[in-house]
Each structure stands twice: as structure tokens, then as C-alpha cells.
């Protein structure tokens, strides 16, 4: 289980910005979210650190999906 | 060294004045101000999404690295989030160094980073609807200019 | 496009505010402020000599060429002459362009020109006496970076 | 004859900044001023335009001697 945050166009595509989702790992969470969080340049951050592989999640985990960034 | 994210508009000149006063060993202050463009009426609002606690930490990390790499006396980054009207400032970066080359390069480098790699998401709203802006090929090429130098 | 020579001190921030307001198609404003350094007490006053009617005309000619070369929306150059105390601004250059690369390059280029080729003569006064400053090898090399590009 | 202006270290070396000097040409004026205006990087401007060769001078001519420049 994890608190899931979406940013930028991902939040628009999903229709939500924040939601609690049941998932024991980052890969399970990705599978649950499907196409929404797939695509070039989309990164995941767990507890505010970018994670490239898989990782176990707890109820306290905060998972953010970040589309390609564009500041300034 | 300071990094601020804020939803309120700011005056770049007031920031530059505060940043420049009382420096007796700084020879060079470079500032960059990014303004929201109207695109001849095509854009009525820009909206910047950020991830509090992540975006500011990432920018702080890059700012610290830039301060060391370029030997800066000081630097300031102020970045708007939320809705921004055309003509308003989106970002302000000021760098202070003994000599101008370091101040210019550090400011240029920080802007390249902020434009393409900083954790912001930018949406343009206009009469034709809204669209998310992603870094251009030029932005990515600009940012990558600094990568090869990082090990030298 | 404006070029001013003045003996009175100026506030770089006030200049930046005035330069930045009311721009709806300018995406990027870069400013450079050159401050007089105290050199740990070695310099108590800087004195800048200029040739009225020649210095301003030369700077204006270079400014016009830079505006065209870099496709600027606008530029401003303010340069002090006469005695200048440590911590005071000597020179302020602001450039405005649609995109940041042009604004950075134009500002950098104008400063290289002003540091090594503009008709000013600079004297440092301190406890150890006074001396005239001439461009360093680094200043001359910086300025020459732009020469080869001028024909491209 | 010409109005002669000295700038920067040249004025300090001469002890004056402006003087009327009898000279029919720039080369004659250089000869009259001697070592003062010789040296690497010293340029002459006649009526606010840099002159590299020789040039006739009139009573209305303004001749400036400019040591190497150093702005900003």
C-alpha cells in the first residue's frame, strides 16, 4: 500500500493527483496503474528519491510518478 | 546560497538590489530573469506544477554543486509555481563571483538545468486550449553541454 | 537600445526592474553588474577616465551590432565614470531576447568588449599608491572569442 | 595646430590632459610629443575617429592619444 502522487500531464490523464493504492512493490504498483505511468521519460520517486528498479512498498511509502521535467 | 519556490509574483530588480548590496569582494553579479511570453495572444496563462520537498531539494543540490564548481561567492534562485500571467517573471537566478566568467557560466549552467532537468511541469493555457510543455531538443542539448565538463 | 555614461552611482536592481516591465514577448532578460572590489583593503577608490563623444559613440556602435547579431529585443548599458568606491556598481548591462541563449551570449559578448576594448582607462587608488589597470591576457582572450564568429 | 587630449596614464605621465600644440600633421605632432605617445597599444584619434597612418591637421583638429583601453 502506498500514497501515490501524479504530476504534470499524468495528473490530467488520470483525473486525480493523489490516491492511496494497494501494492506491495513498485512493480506491482506500475502494473496496477498500467499505461498511465508507462512512456518515455516517466520516472518514479519513492519517498522523494528517484528509483530506477523495483522496490518494496509499505503503508508509509510515498510514490510519485514524474513525467519529463520542464522548469524555468 | 538560497533557493525559494513561491506562488506569489516577484520583482527581479528588488531581488537583484538585495543580492548585490554590501559586497566588497564580488566583482561580478549575473542575473537571469525568465518571463512568461504571451506568444502573440496564444498563451494567456502558464501553470507550473512542482513537487514540494523534492523540487526544492533537487534544485538546492544542483545549486550547491554549481557554487562549488564555479567558485561562487553566493547564488540565489527564486522560482514561481502555480499560475503565471504573460510578462510576469517565472524564474530568477543570480550568481556572484570575483570575476565575470564564473558568474556567467554558473548562471547559464543553472538555467540550462532549470529549463530541462528541474522537477517542474509546465502547462500553457490559451484560447486554443491547454497543453503541457516538455523540454525542447535545444534545451536538452544545452543542458548536456555541462555533463562532459563535470568530470574534468 | 540605450547607452548611458554617468558619474552618479546607480542601483542595478532599479535598472533591471525598469528594463523588465511591460515585456510580453521577451522570454529572457540577462543582466551583468560589475562591482568595484576592495581587494582586501588594497583598493580604496577606482577612477574611470572616458572620452566624451568618443566613448559613448564606440559603445553605441558595438551595442547596435550586438543587438543585430544576437537578435535582441532590447539592451541597456549604463557605465560609471569618475571615482567609484568599493562595492559600488561600475557597469550594468541588460539584454532582452525571446530565448535565453541569445540574451546570455549578447550580455557576455558586450561585457568582454567593455572589459578590454571600450575606451575607458581605469586607475586603482589604495594605501600603496595608485596604478593604471590594463586588460589582462584573460580579458583579451575573452574578447577575441567573438572575433572569429563575426564573419559566420 | 591642434587641440591635443591625453587620457589615462598618458595624462598622468605628461602632467596635463589638454593643450594646444603647433603641428601640421599627425606625424609632426607625434614627433613633438616624443616618447609620451609612443608605446604598445597607444592609438591616436583625430576628431573622434581612430587614425592609423598620417593625416594633415588644422587649427580645428582635435587629436586624442589613447593608451590601451580597460572598461567595465
D48 C-beta neighbours (distance < 10 Å), count: 15
Please give the Cα distance from B141 to B116 (Å, whole number): 9
- Point out the residues of chain A with pLDDT beneath 50: none
pLDDT for A72:
56
C5 touches chain D (CB under 8 A): no
pLDDT for C41:
75
Q: What is the ipTM of this complex?
A: 0.83
pLDDT for A70:
74
In a domain, B150, yes or no: no
In a domain, B143, yes or no: no
Nearest to C93 by CA among C74, C81, C77, C104: C77
pLDDT in tens, B49-94: 999 999 999 999 999 999 999 999 999 999 999 999 988 999 999 9
Of C16, C28, C38, the CB nearest to B25: C38
Nearest to B117 by CA among B109, B125, B128: B109
The CATH number of the domain holding residue B9 is 3.90.1170.40
CATH classification of A2-66, choosing from 3.10.20.30, 3.40.50.300, 3.30.1330.60, 3.30.70.2750? 3.10.20.30
Of B57, B115, B123, the CB nearest to A72: B115
In a domain, B141, yes or no: no
Element (H, E) at C115: helix C100-116
Of C16, C21, C27, the CB nearest to B37: C27
Please give the Cα distance from B88 to B90 (Å, whole number): 6
Beta carbons within 8 Å of B11's beta carbon, 6+ residues apart? B89, C17
C-alpha cell at D60: 580645428
Of C54, C79, C123, the CB nearest to D71: C79
Neighbours of chain C (3+ CB pairs under 8 A): B, D
Percent pLDDT > 90 in chain C is 63
Tell me if C28 and B33 make a contact (CB, 8 A cut-off). yes
| Binding-site residues on chain D for chain C (CB distance < 8 A) | 5, 7-9, 11-12, 41, 45, 48, 64, 66-72
In a domain, C151, yes or no: no
Residue C30: HSE in the Cβ half-sphere, 13 Å Cα cutoff: 29
Give the total number of structural domains in chain C: 1
pLDDT in tens, C105-142: 999 999 999 988 889 998 988 888 888 887 777 777 77
Please give the Cα distance from C91 to C59 (Å, whole number): 12
CA distance C27 to chain D (A): 26
Distance of CA B92 to the CA centre of its chain: 5
pTM, rounded to two decimals: 0.86
Residue B32: which domain range?
Answer: 2-136
In chain B, alpha helices (H): 12-20, 55-69, 100-116, 137-144
In a domain, B142, yes or no: no
Of A60-69, C10-19, C42-51, which range is least confident?
A: C42-51
The number of residues in chain C equals 152
pLDDT in tens, D10-33: 999 999 999 999 999 999 999 999
pLDDT for A20:
96
pLDDT for D68:
87
Residues of chain B in contact with residue C33, where contact means CB-CB under 8 angstroms, are 16, 20, 28-31
CA distance A24 to chain B (A): 23
pLDDT in tens, C64-95: 999 999 999 999 999 999 999 988 999 999 99
Residue with cell 546560497: B1
pLDDT for B128:
85
Which 3 state secondary structure label does DSSP give B68?
Answer: helix
In A25-67, alpha helices (H): 26-33
Amino acid at each position: 500500500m502506498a500514497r501515490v502522487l501524479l504530476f504534470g500531464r499524468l495528473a490530467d490523464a488520470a483525473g486525480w493527483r493523489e490516491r492511496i493504492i494497494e501494492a506491495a512493490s513498485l512493480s506491482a504498483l506500475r502494473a496496477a496503474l498500467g499505461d498511465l505511468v508507462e512512456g518515455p521519460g516517466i520516472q518514479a520517486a519513492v519517498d522523494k528519491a528517484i528509483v530506477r528498479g523495483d522496490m518494496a512498498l509499505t503503508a508509509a511509502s510515498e510514490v510519485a510518478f514524474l513525467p519529463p521535467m520542464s522548469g524555468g | 546560497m538560497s533557493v525559494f519556490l513561491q506562488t506569489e509574483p516577484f520583482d527581479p530588480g528588488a531581488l537583484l538590489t538585495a543580492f548585490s548590496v554590501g559586497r566588497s569582494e564580488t566583482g561580478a553579479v549575473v542575473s537571469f530573469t525568465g518571463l512568461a511570453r504571451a506568444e502573440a495572444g496564444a498563451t494567456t496563462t502558464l501553470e507550473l506544477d512542482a513537487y514540494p520537498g523534492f523540487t526544492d531539494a533537487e534544485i538546492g543540490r544542483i545549486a550547491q554543486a554549481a557554487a562549488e564548481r564555479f567558485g561562487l561567492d553566493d547564488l540565489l534562485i527564486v522560482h514561481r509555481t502555480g499560475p503565471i500571467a504573460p510578462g510576469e517573471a517565472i524564474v530568477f537566478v543570480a550568481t556572484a563571483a570575483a570575476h565575470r566568467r564564473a558568474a556567467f557560466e554558473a548562471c547559464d549552467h543553472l538555467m540550462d538545468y532549470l529549463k530541462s532537468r528541474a522537477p517542474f511541469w509546465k502547462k500553457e493555457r490559451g484560447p486554443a486550449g491547454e497543453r503541457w510543455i516538455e523540454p525542447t531538443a535545444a534545451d536538452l542539448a544545452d543542458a548536456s553541454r555541462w555533463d562532459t565538463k563535470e568530470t574534468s
